[in-house]
Chain A
């Protein structure tokens, strides 16, 4: 058989094999994505839609609630992601120390939150941080505060509460990545540094962090995406309140779609805002972390 025909037949067989997966992917991923892009140019309420060109984008610029949600989301992103990444790194380094006792127990304890039920933990957080909850009692007993902190009713403290909640839930998840990466580092690298008199902080700063850079980048991007899509915690703990202080973009999309008179077109536009933001932020993070070697 001539080579060309053989090649063609192999091609066809190959495509036939991946066709089912491709069709399913197309049906359930590509199609909705393209369709939501199309939707984002539609205006009108409910099923009563018509093409509106850039009207939705114009509406974004005038929508104070959207701007509030965007601002809140950014605050969560800028404050929470660095705190969580830093904590996860410190935990990972501490738990990687072979002289630490009960390592397995600590690892499990720190990882456990991210596999617990979301509703259960949200409900628990809500009751713990309620005006008369255990957190108030604990803080008062320790004389750290004089009166109850209005966790759920003050705009500032509500944001703090959400940040505490997502940090509690996701730090262990990130830590696992660092632990795995740390265990792949040749131990004698640290031993050599110790013998050569490199102090512990410098081993962390100049050896651990650069060697973990690819993993740190990965978790930062993942966490960025997660924070920009933040929904569950705010929906379950604060419902976006008080007075929209914890309203996030995702929660706003949900409200636009399911709570008020549905505005499918506009909510699709807001969701594309998230897509664009994730794209831009990830790109910036890749730029910052770019390897000097290949530069």
Chain B
């Protein structure tokens, strides 16, 4: 199994730069997920690793070898596409065995490898069907099977589940996680679904506008986001941001007064920031507490509440600033139009006006 290394990798289409200098180490056997909003360059970066796009500048190494100008088929990779990219005129068996014919693999060996992959993916009953006779999930499994038979060092996935319905997506997600455990290969996986990223990844790479915003394990990114973008992107529902101003700096921390909650102050254990600086206080929906349980209370007007049974999401605002609050055991709150919640300084984050974390 191989590691993947990117150094100063750039991609430009004409004068338009899409990937603006990416440094990344993907250790062997890791499951790495690229996430980011649409158009941020996830697919482009993956396709550069695959060799489908030329690398404008920088170096790509796979398994310790420079691969910039190596043919895609010689990079030891296999790729699974969002559209599956199955050969429509070939059966599942032929789809999976087709490429092996040109690698000089003997016929009975091809049959054996296809059989093995089919067993791993539970495709045996479908081997003689054509792609158009399969469901979306089955097609995706065939596409994965076609990648597996080649025994690649690195698997590349480009949004493999985004054409599936919600239920199937959860199912296939678990399948892919199981597969990774079983095959022990390096996987680079692109998605814009942060739940997929959180559940599958050993390491998440958050991209924005062709730049890496942060690299870390799912919980690192959740607990310790480097900036407001990552904080808002990782976690569901999105993190809330409350406008505020730094009103006091002391040895034990920085005190912030909230703009839309006059008189509410909160002291965070950080040392950065300047007096009078406008900041954003980040609080996750699930980190609001009962009134009095935290360090400061705020009261809010309820717009809408969604009661899902065990939890509910309350959409509320103060002075036009919208917040989402996750509540457990909230049946007694149905119909209520005013609530108070508390904020704990230890579970809040501070960002400057450029979105950088104040630590």
A residues with a Cβ closer than 8 A to B are 186, 188-189, 191-199, 202, 206-207, 210-211, 213, 293
Contact = CB atoms under 8 A, between A and B. Distances in A.
A242 B73 CA distance: 56
A197 B102 contact: yes
Given A188-B85, A211-B88, A198 B102 contact: yes
Given A195-B52, A195-B73, A206-B98, A188 B103 contact: no
B89 interface: yes
A177 to B, nearest CB: 18
A192 B149 CA distance: 13
A183 to B, nearest CB: 15
23 contacts: A188-B83, A189-B86, A189-B87, A191-B50, A191-B79, A192-B79, A192-B81, A192-B85, A193-B87, A194-B73, A195-B51, A195-B77, A195-B78, A196-B73, A196-B98, A196-B99, A196-B146, A196-B150, A197-B74, A198-B98, A198-B99, A199-B102, A210-B89
B99 A191 contact: no
Given A210-B89, A211-B89, A193 B81 contact: no
Contacts of A193: 87, 98-99
Contacts of A191: 50, 52, 79, 81, 85
Nearest to B132: A293
A196 B87 CA distance: 13
Given A194-B73, A195-B78, A189 B85 contact: yes
B72 interface: yes
Interface of B: 50-52, 72-74, 77-79, 81-83, 85-89, 98-99, 102-103, 130, 146, 150
Nearest to A190: B85
A116 to B, nearest CB: 36
The 5 closest A-B pairs by CB, nearest first: A197-B73, A196-B99, A188-B85, A192-B85, A188-B81
Contacts of B87: 189, 193, 207
B325 to A, nearest CB: 43
A98 to B, nearest CB: 12
B73 A186 contact: no
B52 A194 contact: yes
Nearest to A292: B89
A197 B99 contact: yes
Contacts of B50: 191, 195
Given A192-B79, A192-B85, 19 more contacts: A186-B85, A188-B81, A191-B85, A192-B81, A193-B99, A195-B50, A195-B73, A195-B77, A195-B78, A196-B73, A196-B78, A196-B98, A196-B146, A197-B103, A198-B102, A199-B102, A206-B98, A207-B87, A210-B89
A207 B150 CA distance: 19
A192 B51 CA distance: 11
Nearest to B156: A195
Nearest to A189: B85
Contacts of B79: 191-192, 195
B85 to A, nearest CB: 4
B146 A192 contact: yes
B154 to A, nearest CB: 11
A188 B158 CA distance: 11
A127 B99 CA distance: 52
Contacts of B89: 210-211, 213
A188 to B, nearest CB: 4
Contacts of A192: 79, 81, 85, 146
A195 B79 CA distance: 7
B168 to A, nearest CB: 20
Contacts of A211: 88-89
Contacts of B82: 188
A94 to B, nearest CB: 20
A249 B51 CA distance: 55
A206 B97 CA distance: 13
Contacts of A197: 73-74, 99, 102-103
Contact of B72 (A189, A195, A202, A210): A195
Q: Quick one: which of A188, A193, A194, A198 has the most chain B CB within 10 A? A: A188
Contacts of B78: 195-196
Nearest to A193: B99
A194 B74 CA distance: 10
